[in-house]
Amino acid sequence: MKIGPTFPGFDVSAQGLSIQRKRMNIIAENIANADVTRTADGQPYQRKYLEVTASQNPFANDLVSETSTLQLKVTEPGQISSPEILQPGMNSNLPVDTSKEVTDRTPGDEVYEPDNPNANAKGYVQQSNVNIVTEMVDMISASRSYEANLTALNSSKQMAKDSLEI
């Protein structure tokens, strides 16, 4: 979700909120399917998680405003080998490039249940690799991260409001 170039704090917080919402949805799906021993493909349910990758933009790009040009100045010759002019619009990328859903391929436990229709020839049933305790810890983490992003968004909103009152 892109809000606009005037308030980059809104964009970062909105993206954080979106990522944490996706994490919560995946965690809820994992918990709901924790006991599924056979899916449509005949295998037990495999835990999913969200993989988020950060962009490789230099830090200086985030300091440039959309409407201004910034000349790097040095106090002594040779401090910076080649000062560059940073062009407007270089900070249009948010800190996070992509988030994708990844399936955890580690096998789950095998439980001896010879009467289960999903049992193998030896009577063992392959269980899902979802650990409810791990999912609950991840859920608390995602919830707290969502709250932190919401607090940051509200702080940015309050700062923008206060700056208009000056």
With a pLDDT cut of 70, the percent of the chain lying above it is: 71
Q: How confident is the model at residue 15 (pLDDT cuts 50, 70, 90)?
A: confident
Which one has a higher pLDDT value, 2 or 31?
Answer: 31
pLDDT value, residue 124 = 93
Q: Is residue 160 part of a domain?
A: yes
DSSP the chain: ----TT-HHHHHHHHHHHHHHHHHHHHHHHHHTTT----TTSS----EEEEEEE----GGGGG--TT--EE---SSTTSSSS--EEPTTTT-S-SEEEEEEEE------EEE-TTSTT--TTSEEEPP---HHHHHHHHHHHHHHHHHHHHHHHHHHHHHHHHHT-
Half-sphere CA count of 89, side-chain side, radius 13 A: 0
Poorest-confidence range of 23-27, 31-35, 121-125, 158-162? 158-162
pLDDT value, residue 79 = 59
Q: Is the pLDDT of residue 63 over 80?
A: no
Q: Is residue 60 part of a domain?
A: no
Q: Is residue 29 part of a domain?
A: yes
Q: Is residue 20 part of a domain?
A: yes
| Average pLDDT, integer, range 74-96 | 52
Tell whether pTM > 0.85: no
Our count of domains for the chain comes to: 1
Single-letter amino acid code for the residue at 77: P
Domain that holds residue 43: 8-48+106-164
Q: Give exposure, 59-75, as e/b (b: 16+ Cβ within 10 Å).
A: eeeeebeeeeeeeeeee
Q: Is residue 99 part of a domain?
A: no
Q: Is residue 15 part of a domain?
A: yes
Q: pLDDT tens, 88-126?
A: 444 445 566 677 889 999 998 999 999 988 889 999 999
| Average pLDDT, integer, range 137-158 | 94
Which one has a higher pLDDT value, 70 or 159?
Answer: 159
